[in-house]
Chain A
Amino acid sequence: MDMDLEGPGLHVIFGLDPYELPFTLNDVLTNGAQPEQATVKMNERLHLDRGGIYFAPASVKVEEILKSLRSGFELDSFSKAIKKLTEKFGLDYLLVDTHPGLEDDTLLAMGVCNNLVVVSRLDQQDMFGTGVLAEVARTLEKPVHLLLNMIPSAMSPSEASRVIDKIGSNFKVQVLGWLPFSEEIINSLSKSVFILGNPRHPITKRFDELGTKLESLSGLN
Chain B
Amino acid sequence: MTLNVSNTIPSTFYAYTWNVTDPAGTLTSIINGGLANSQTLTLTAVYPRDFSGASIKYNGTYRVNIFQVNPGPTTLVATSKFYAGLTDSLSYQRTAQVSILAQGYASNENITIRISHVGIPVAGFPRSQLANGNGIFSYVWPIPISTPLGPCNVSLTGQVTSKKPPDSQTFTVLPTSVSISRLVANVTLLQASQIAAFSFAAVYPDGSQAKTGAMTIRVVEPDGITIHLVSMSFNTTVNAFEGTYRIASSGPSGGWVAIIDANSFDDGYGNLGPSTSVVRGFVVEPAASQNPQTSTVTYLLLIAVLLLAVALTVLVSWVLFFARKKVQRSVLKVDFQSIEREAARVQNRDFFAKVHDQLKRRQQTKPEEDVKDG
**Cα distance A5–B188 when bound, in Å?**
11
Q: Is B333 a contact partner of A65 (Cβ separation < 8 A)?
A: no
**Within 8 Å CB of A111, what residues of B?**
355, 358-359
Sample (7) of A-B pairs whose CB atoms are under 8 Å apart: A9-B181, A75-B359, A128-B335, A135-B343, A136-B343, A136-B346, A189-B203
Partner pick for B339 among A82, A122, A128, CB 8 A cutoff: A128
**Cα distance A70–B254 when bound, in Å?**
8
Residues 352-374 of chain B: 1 if any A CB is under 8 Å from the residue's CB, otherwise 0? 10111011001000000000111
Q: Is A112 a contact partner of B373 (Cβ separation < 8 A)?
A: yes
Q: Is A139 a contact partner of B356 (Cβ separation < 8 A)?
A: yes
Stretch touching chain B among A32-40, A93-101, A203-211: A93-101
**Cα distance A170–B332 when bound, in Å?**
13
B196 → A minimal CB distance (Å): 12
**Within 8 Å CB of A107, what residues of B?**
346, 351-352, 355
**Within 8 Å CB of B276, what residues of A?**
60
B344 → A minimal CB distance (Å): 8
**Cα distance A60–B279 when bound, in Å?**
7
Residues 316-341 of chain B: 1 if any A CB is under 8 Å from the residue's CB, otherwise 0? 00000000000000001111101110
B60 → A minimal CB distance (Å): 41
Residues 182-224 of chain B: 1 if any A CB is under 8 Å from the residue's CB, otherwise 0? 1111111100000000000101000101000000000010101
16 more A-B contacts (CB under 8 A) besides A65-B281, A79-B362? A6-B255, A7-B279, A65-B279, A66-B281, A69-B255, A101-B188, A102-B189, A103-B189, A111-B355, A112-B373, A113-B374, A124-B334, A125-B186, A127-B332, A163-B332, A189-B203
Q: Is B181 a contact partner of A72 (Cβ separation < 8 A)?
A: no
- Tell me the chain B residues, 271-289 only, with Cβ under 8 Å from chain A: 276-283
B-side binding surface: helix, strand, loop or mixed?
Answer: mixed
- Tell me the chain B residues, 230-287 only, with Cβ under 8 Å from chain A: 254-255, 257, 259, 276-283
B252 → A minimal CB distance (Å): 12
**Within 8 Å CB of B220, what residues of A?**
62, 66
Say yes or no: is B342 at the interface (Cβ < 8 Å to chain A): yes
**5 tightest A-B CB contacts, nearest first:** A69-B255, A6-B281, A135-B343, A101-B188, A131-B339
| A101-B189, A111-B359 known; A83-B281 Cβ under 8 A | no
**Within 8 Å CB of A6, what residues of B?**
188, 255, 280-283
CB closest chain-B residue, reference A102: B346
Contacts between chains A and B (CB distance < 8 A), count: 139
**Cα distance A128–B185 when bound, in Å?**
17
Residues 56-99 of chain A: 1 if any B CB is under 8 Å from the residue's CB, otherwise 0? 00001111011001101101100100110010000000100001
B176 → A minimal CB distance (Å): 16
For this complex, into which size category does the number of interface residues on chain B fall? 35 or more
Q: Is B342 a contact partner of A9 (Cβ separation < 8 A)?
A: no
**Cα distance A198–B358 when bound, in Å?**
43
**Within 8 Å CB of A21, what residues of B?**
none
Partner pick for A5 among B181, B183, B281, B359, CB 8 A cutoff: B281
Residues 6-42 of chain A: 1 if any B CB is under 8 Å from the residue's CB, otherwise 0? 1101001000000000000000000000000000000
Q: Is B281 a contact partner of A189 (Cβ separation < 8 A)?
A: no
Say yes or no: is A150 at the interface (Cβ < 8 Å to chain B): no
**Cα distance A42–B358 when bound, in Å?**
33
- Tell me the chain A residues, 171-216 only, with Cβ under 8 Å from chain B: 189-191
**Within 8 Å CB of A113, what residues of B?**
374
**Within 8 Å CB of A170, what residues of B?**
334, 336
Say yes or no: is A217 at the interface (Cβ < 8 Å to chain B): no
**Within 8 Å CB of B222, what residues of A?**
66, 69-70
CB closest chain-A residue, reference B203: A189
Partner pick for A140 among B333, B335, B340, B356, CB 8 A cutoff: B356
Q: Is A140 a contact partner of B355 (Cβ separation < 8 A)?
A: yes
Say yes or no: is B347 at the interface (Cβ < 8 Å to chain A): yes
B369 → A minimal CB distance (Å): 8
Partner pick for B340 among A76, A100, A135, CB 8 A cutoff: A135
**Cα distance A111–B220 when bound, in Å?**
30
CB closest chain-B residue, reference A115: B374
Partner pick for B224 among A66, A122, A125, CB 8 A cutoff: A66
- Tell me the chain A residues, 95-153 only, with Cβ under 8 Å from chain B: 99-104, 107-108, 110-114, 122-125, 127-128, 131-132, 135-136, 139-141
